[in-house]
Amino acid sequence: MKLTIKFQREGTRAKPVYADYEVDIPEETTVYDALVSIRETQDGTMAFRGNCGVGFCGDCTVSINGGQKPSCLVTVGNVQKENVITIQPVRYAPVTKHVMYDADKFIWDKLTPFARGLVPNGDRPVSDKELEPVRKAMRCTTCGLCDEGCSVIDVNLDFYGPAALMKLYRFAFDPRDSITAERLTQGSETNGIWDCVHCWEATEHCPFGLEPTHRIMETRDHGVSYGVRSGHGNKSAERHYDSFARSVERSGWLDERAVALASYGGLVKGGIKLLPMALKALKRGKATLKPHHKRPGAGEIKKIFERYRRSTADRRKES
Ligand code: SF4
């Protein structure tokens, strides 16, 4: 199959400068192998990342015809468009040369805080069932494609991102570990699990079906079951969580004004912070000054909360 590989050597993603390489290779050749062959036969200066070549390490993630993919997992025949394949760097990774990115800044610096090894809690035998979440998370190749799709990283590069939070999940769900609450508290700091907006893009982007957004949601639930609703320096997540539950317990539905005020630190602090937005919302008819009322059946909802509290207290006593 005759192809032109357009390879970005200079410029930015928006204004790329390409070098074109002509190749004649079988259509089942992977894009990664195609790049390696060009580097070996045409241009030894080409810079791109890659390691295992079999979809295990995630290192060769690159933008191919505008979509981010591990280049060793796609064949030239499948991705070419009119016999052209365009290679660019991934979106959020700082580029060091051509399409080679700084892997530390892209992924490892964020992931390392959650990668503290297992701190064993004894030698109790664990079942296959208990290890299912761990095994699932260990299939993560740290390719970073979930981060590429993340709509929070889009506006906040400091957000840990789903790839790093997958590492948190891996250890937080390990039944052999003894510092689960500590890990969950660390993951609940600012830019951690509570900053995910569950847009599900990470789940859409993971090429291995690991559903990273689902894993973040499960880690939150896991935190709550451990009594961890925020990090030491991130009390707004806890306030939001508690006021949300309080509102539903009290009235049977959500009092958005009360939750917003509580999340920002109460009537005075929250009021000052939210006043401009509240005035705008009132003007546009998106908010009302009418008092929040109880819904019919609110008493039944309150009973659900009471039952939940009793059952969690029982579970804690048992464990
Ligand atoms: S969760 Fe999926 S997309 Fe994200 S780094 Fe791991 S393998 Fe890649």
By C-alpha distance, which of 127, 128, 64, 52 is closest to 90?
A: 64
Residues of the chain scoring pLDDT < 50: none
The Å distance, Cα 76 to ligand 1 centre, comes to 22
The Å distance, Cα 14 to ligand 1 centre, comes to 25
Which ligand 1 atom lies nearest to the CA of residue 166? 1
Strand partners, 122: none
Q: What percent of the chain has pLDDT over 70?
A: 98
Which ligand 1 atom lies nearest to the CA of residue 142? 5
pLDDT at 234: 86
**Ligand 1 residue neighbourhood (C-beta within 6 Å):** 58, 140-146, 162-163, 166, 205-206, 208, 210, 212
Chain segment 8-27, per-residue pLDDT in tens: 999 988 899 999 999 999 99
User: How high is the mean pLDDT of the chain?
Assistant: 94
pLDDT at 87: 98
Rg of the chain taking only CA atoms, in angstroms: 25
Residue nearest to atom 7 of ligand 1 (CA): 140
Two tokens at 42? 């045409």
Two tokens at 224? 């709550």
pLDDT at 311: 86
The Å distance, Cα 302 to ligand 1 centre, comes to 40
State pTM to two decimals. Answer: 0.85
Residue 67, H or E segment: strand 67-70
Residue nearest to atom 6 of ligand 1 (CA): 140
d(CA 196, CA 215): 11
CA 67 to chain centre: 18
The Å distance, Cα 313 to ligand 1 centre, comes to 36
Chain segment 29-44, per-residue pLDDT in tens: 999 999 999 999 999 9
Cβ atoms of residues 64 and 71 within 8 Å: yes
pLDDT at 233: 87
